[in-house]
Amino acid sequence: MIIREGRTFSSVPSLFDHMVEIDTTRLRETFETYSSIGQTDNDGLHRLTLSEEDARVRDQFVSDLEQLGLEVRIDEIGNIFGRREGQSPDAAPVLVGSHLDSQPYGGRFDGQLGVLTALEALRTFEDEEIKHERPIEIVNWTNEEGSRFKPALMGSGTFVGEFSVDKTLAETDADGVTVEEALEAIGYRGDESCEPREEIHSYLELHVEQGPILEDNEVAVGIVDGIYGMAWLEATVHGESDHAGPSPVYSRQDALVAAADVVLNVRRLSSRVADDVVTTVGELEVGPGSINVVPSSAEFTVDVRSYDDDAVAELVSCVENELDAACARENTTYDLEEIWRITHTEFSSVVRESALEAANVLNIPHQQMIGGAGHDASYLNEITDAGMLFVPSVDGKTHNEAEYTEWSDVIGGAKVFTETMRRLAS
């Protein structure tokens, strides 16, 4: 993690007559309402993309947009947009939002907080009759997480043309259900073409940091300079099943032994090649999976990240070397597929400067930083001036039901977000 700048406390004059005051009680109530949809026993969220729980939270979101008088559009892969007109309806709009889907057992803040902060900002603009030049559109991107369907960032990636609509609709989950079938099952296959229908002025997204930096530095808001690049790999080791008793060890071709060898060596590759490299094996499945049978197959994933794209590329070859070595030791073979690669993102200075000014005007402690997690803003950055705000994650925990952000930090982030949005739209 690279910290670009320490805490900044300074004051700059506001552009506007008065400061916009968000309704923090309403924001919290809305957050609680949304958090009850797909809530787990441990106060986390189980809201896999395009699931029944996702359908319910989408219904809530669409209803809230309509109640606010926004023009709602749903595109062919389920991205939901709500438009508030500006004083110049033909001006390029400002896009704001995040995602409402969750990890299998994720927290309440990841994604959802960004959507609801944007919703609260728009509600405040409506209540306070805030004038703004540009239209503002709020968005909920389909399948940010990539837990049910791969790749992650599917909605934004398709929107910017990184993936074709046909490819996206044909992606399947573990049960063989396609994105298209899942969209139709929950009634969110919209009519709109999945692409920008006009030039977009800028994109702004608030998100939890998902790491420990802001908390360690006691800073409420991170203004994000950029995002790590990453690669996702899927490996399958092919061995030979055999009886755990009478088959001698010398003749075994144990797919799990080879895979375990790779798992340990992938961990050792963290911080290699470049200081900031992180590597993770998050999934591993063993076949046939019987206590007294030598495993014949082991499928696993590898996630590699760094701000240095060359380091990511080099790490991918390191993983291949580890597979070669481990499979040679165990007399097994393997397949390795790179299922996703995204280069590092350097966000637009336009959004970053607006956010810095907003944080300074509001006198909220903030810092510039690099993000380690992938975000829809990375793809949006390919077609417009994009930027992000982070709020702290307690203990840096995320993708975990215990994920938490202090409410005072949420409010700080929401204030900077609202002020930044106002500046971008003016």
Q: Which of 321, 348, 346 is nearest to 336 (CA)?
A: 321
First to last CA, the chain: 33
Q: Which of 331, 327, 338 is nearest to 265 (CA)?
A: 327
Shortest CB 282 distance to a copy of itself, Å: 5
Greatest CA separation for the chain: 83
Shortest CB 217 distance to a copy of itself, Å: 14
What is the residue-wise DSSP string for 122-150? Answer: HHHHHHTT---SS-EEEEE-S-SS-SSSS
Report the site for a copy of itself in 23-62 (rule: CB under 8 A): none
The tokens for 78 are 């389920």
CA 420, 423, 426: angle at the middle one, nearest 5? Answer: 150
Handedness of CA 269, 274, 278, 284 (dihedral sign): negative
According to DSSP, the residues that pair with 221 across neighbouring strands are 366
> Tokens 């837990």 map to which residue?
147
Nearer to a copy of itself, 16 or 105 (CB): 105
Among 8, 178, 270, 426, binds a copy of itself (CB under 8 A): 270
> Tokens 């996206």 map to which residue?
168
Interface with a copy of itself, residue 396, by CB under 8 A: yes
Shortest CB 339 distance to a copy of itself, Å: 9
Interface with a copy of itself, residue 399, by CB under 8 A: yes
How many binding residues for a copy of itself (CB under 8 A)? 68
Nearer to a copy of itself, 10 or 291 (CB): 291
Nearer to a copy of itself, 1 or 68 (CB): 1
Interface with a copy of itself, residue 272, by CB under 8 A: no
Nearer to a copy of itself, 365 or 396 (CB): 396
Q: What are phi and psi of 260, to 5 degrees?
A: -60, -40
What is the residue-wise DSSP string for 38-106? Answer: TB-TTS-B---TTSHHHHHHHHHHHHHHHHTTPEEEEBTT--EEEEE--SSTTSPPEEEEE-----TTB
Interface with a copy of itself, residue 264, by CB under 8 A: yes
Sorted by sequence, the CB contacts under 8 Å of residue 45 that are 6+ apart come out as 35, 38, 39, 102, 103, 105, 106, 107, 108, 112, 401
Q: At what angle do helices 52-67 and 179-186 cross, to 10 degrees?
A: 60
The interface region with a copy of itself, picked from 19-27, 159-167, 279-287, 352-360 by CB under 8 A, is 279-287
Among 24, 40, 343, 400, binds a copy of itself (CB under 8 A): 400
Handedness of CA 21, 22, 26, 29 (dihedral sign): negative
The interface region with a copy of itself, picked from 31-39, 121-129, 266-274, 315-323 by CB under 8 A, is 266-274
Interface with a copy of itself, residue 261, by CB under 8 A: yes
Alpha helix (H) residue ranges in 331-392 = 349-362, 376-380
Nearer to a copy of itself, 203 or 232 (CB): 232
Shortest CB 112 distance to a copy of itself, Å: 15
Among 122, 263, 273, 359, binds a copy of itself (CB under 8 A): 263
The interface region with a copy of itself, picked from 85-93, 256-264, 314-322, 346-354 by CB under 8 A, is 256-264
Report the site for a copy of itself in 91-150 (rule: CB under 8 A): 103-105, 145-147, 150
Interface characters, 284-323, with a copy of itself (x: CB under 8 A): xxx-xxxxxxxxx----x-x-x------------------
DSSP state of 172: B
Shortest CB 238 distance to a copy of itself, Å: 13
Give contact residues for a copy of itself (rule: CB under 8 A).
Answer: 1, 103-105, 145-147, 150, 152, 209-213, 228, 230, 232, 240-249, 251, 254, 256-257, 259-261, 263-264, 267, 270-271, 278, 280-286, 288-296, 301, 303, 305, 371-374, 396-400
